[in-house]
Structure 1
Amino acid sequence: MFTIKVIFFDTETTWLDCSRCKIIELAMLTVENGVVIDEYDEFINVGEQISPEITQLTGITNEMVSSEGLSEEMVAQDLKERLTADTLMIAHNCQFDLQFVYHLLKRHFPNEADDIVSNLNWLDTVSVLKDRKEFPHKLIDAVKHYDIPEVNFHRAIDDTKALYNVTMAMKSERDDLREYINIFGFNPRYGVNGKRFEFIEYKSQSFHQRIVAPEFTLPNRKSLY
């Protein structure tokens, strides 16, 4: 797909607010020259109780995290070692996962976290999908749209594998993914969710009923913000 290092990643979290909530599972699928060279999937013991709602959604229990989870410090170190400069990070709704990764790094490497994330490149597959198909745009919707075998959604490692297949299908459909790097679409009704990162260009984006002509894709539309 790309001749650079690519990490497909996903997080499962204690809830939605990245300033107060934490990652309880982190998965990364590392690809170099089209070959998967590393699978990383770890629970994180953050010393907090997981709500019944999160357990119902993800299948992750307090017992799993307490018995199998690494410390957040260990996972932060693993991230720091893997997130080498110019790596392309790909996530579905990347703004969400980027914020949680950033805050995790910031807690443990306060003087380095900003440089780590700003020296990477970021691709949001939701922004691509909105230029390709009608609503809805969850990962499971992309999997169904591209006729990809379903996985155990809301478990991070399974989501990264599904994301890899979705990204390959998108590339086969139209080879313009590079144009979306470091450009995130946001719903004009709600604005950007959370922290705005200076290395990301945020553009107002509505969804379309079908794949749009190249001149109307998000990278080619003018930003009003």
Structure 2
Amino acid sequence: MVNSYVCFDLETTGLSPEKDEIIEIGAVKVEEGKVIERFSRFVKPDQPISPMVTALTGISNDMVADAGPTDQTIYDFLYFCGEYPVVGHNLMFDYRFTYRYAKKYYMDFQKEGLDTLKIARKVLPDLPSKSLENLCSHYGIVNSSAHRAYHDALATAKLYQTLKYYFGTSEEKLFTAAPLVWKQKKIQPATKRQKEYLKELAKYHKIDINSDLETLTRSEASRMIDKILFQHGRMERQRGSWPVKK
């Protein structure tokens, strides 16, 4: 049964570990049920934080503007985790993002862990919602600032301790750490035709793409094409070619 661990949570710009970005990391280190160390850092994303994400998390572009170098933040967080198993609510969501960032900066994040969401699904099957907010409400756990990484990490640690108190003896296997396994999807570069089409669209509509076409992935190029077509419309075809608008 895991009694010492690092419980962590991320705030991100979206749900995809392949294309979205971390904007905040929060964690607590717990030994024998007591918090002994805390971690809280902003991460500045490459793309601006959207108003929707700011509305959900309360994190604005101004708040992350002075965040330190991302590679140093990731290194510091991995050092904070050390050899401890990790705990999280819907843990694989946060693990995937962290694993991808670690790999990007040539670091390792192979961990064992426990997911309070999986535990709750087993021991509280009749509870309508297994969200962190609802589980905290169910057990009277106060989360003073939901959707902020550190506060959600602390609330999750309290939730884990509560679940272990009530079910640790009868469901001991649920409180044993297991290896976390995730294989990152292979990133496919944009096709030659996608890059040519983007150049044609930019020339036709007289717009700047503001991206290095050679570094785009296939999905990024597809989204960019869709955005241009939505905002500016299609090109009118004349005699089998794409004419430049005058």
TM-score by structure 2 length?
0.67
Residue number among 87, 90, 96 corresponding to 1:90 in the alignment: 87
Alpha-carbon offset, residue 28 of structure 1: 1.0
Partner of 1:155: 148
Partner of 2:71: 73
The structure whose Rg is larger is: 2
Partner of 2:17: 18
Residue number among 125, 132, 138 corresponding to 2:116 in the alignment: 125
The number of residues matched between the two structures is: 179
Query: 2: distance between equivalents of 1:63 and 1:126?
Result: 32
Query: 2: distance between equivalents of 1:157 and 1:135?
Result: 26
Judge which range, 50-59 or 139-148, deviates more. 139-148
Alpha-carbon offset, residue 71 of structure 1: 1.9
Partner of 2:187: none
Identity score, percent: 27
1:47 to 2:40 alignment: no
Alpha-carbon offset, residue 196 of structure 1: 5.1
Change (3 A) 1:167 1:24: same
Relative to total residues, which structure has the larger helix share, 1 or 2? 2
Query: 1: distance between equivalents of 2:79 and 2:179?
Result: 25
What SS does structure 2 have at the residue aligned with 1:70? coil
Change (3 A) 1:19 1:179: same
What SS does structure 2 have at the residue aligned with 1:131? helix
Query: 2: distance between equivalents of 1:3 and 1:137?
Result: 22
Query: 2: distance between equivalents of 1:19 and 1:177?
Result: 34
Structure 1 residue ranges without an equivalent (≥5): 185-193, 198-225
Partner of 1:203: none
Structure 2 residue ranges without an equivalent (≥5): 185-246
Alpha-carbon offset, residue 34 of structure 1: 2.9
1:179 to 2:177 alignment: no
What SS does structure 1 have at the residue aligned with 2:65? helix
Change (3 A) 1:183 1:124: farther
Query: 1: distance between equivalents of 2:20 and 2:75?
Result: 19
TM-superposition CA deviations, 1:46-95 (whole Å, max 9, x none):
2320011100000000000003x22211112112322323x110000001
Residue number among 135, 139, 142 corresponding to 2:128 in the alignment: 135
Do 2:91 and 2:115's aligned partners in 1 also have CA atoms closer than 8 Å? Answer: yes
How much is the aligned-residue C-alpha RMSD, in angstroms? 2.2
**Partner amino acid for 2:149?**
A
1:9 to 2:8 alignment: yes
